Structure 1
Amino acid sequence: MVVPRELYKIVTVFSTLIAIVAVVGGFVLLDTATNRTVAAASEVNLPLAIAGVGAIALGAATYAFASRFRTGGMGSPNSDDDGDIEDG
């Protein structure tokens, strides 16, 4: 999706920030749920662990979808600037 440069900057900055906070927060939640990985399986706080994994997935999805934005002059997503190089 081609968007104006200012919108591209805003989307890039805030989506990266949200993704980083979500992933780091998810790992903190997961670490807390498993008591720094020393808890027995029966002692794991399952709702907190699920929330942690969900936060990590949310951060990954946010970053992945935000990378779909382009601004003018970035080229098409299917263009191959290194046309002379073969994969193999």
Structure 2
Amino acid sequence: MTDSSDDEAGGESADVDGPTTTEGGRRDVVVPMRLYKTVTVFSTLIAVAGVVFGFVLLDAATIRLSLLRRLLIGLLGALGVTPPSTVLSAVLAVAGLVSITVGAGVYVLGTRFRARGMGNPQEDADESSDNG
């Protein structure tokens, strides 16, 4: 890759973006700044929503007076289905844990992206410790 003034000004260059491997074996994907911002915003939004929804589901699984649990039981009752309380708790707990796991996974994948010109934070820390 070449270092051009277009990169510093935020313009596009002829460089091909793609995955790079850091010293720790972590693979980062270098993308244009606009895509980096989009990925960061939406991956964080999806991750937070997934984790919060997961905890709401866990709450519904453990607290018998939960609004979500009552709503779900009412909806199933309207359909003519009455699941045992333990089965409903287990399904809600598993769904909550899955939602939290998916949210965490989305966040981890979102952190793999970086924009052109962004250094590796570990490399920056090593350089500053050598100077001090």
Q: Classify the TM-score, shorter chain.
A: 0.7 to 0.9
3-state SS of the aligned residue for 2:101? helix
Deviation, structure 1 residue 75 = 1.1
In the other structure, the counterpart of 2:50 is: 22
Taking structure 2 as the reference length, the TM-score comes to 0.55
Q: Which segments of 5 or more consecutive residues in structure 1 lack a partner in the other structure?
A: 37-41
* Segments ≥4 residues shifted beyond 6 Å: none
In the other structure, the counterpart of 2:119 is: 75
Count of matched residue positions in the alignment of Structure 1 and Structure 2: 80
Residue type of the alignment partner of 1:55: S
Q: Paired residue for 1:60, among 89, 98, 104? A: 104
Is 1:13 the counterpart of 2:41? The answer is yes
Q: What percentage of residue pairs aligned between the two structures are identical?
A: 55
Taking structure 1 as the reference length, the TM-score comes to 0.80
Alignment RMSD: 2.0
The one of the two structures with greater contact order (alpha-carbon pairs below 8 A, sep at least 6) is 1
Deviation, structure 1 residue 35 = 1.1
Deviation, structure 1 residue 18 = 0.2
Matched residues in 2 for 1:30 and 1:19: separation? 17
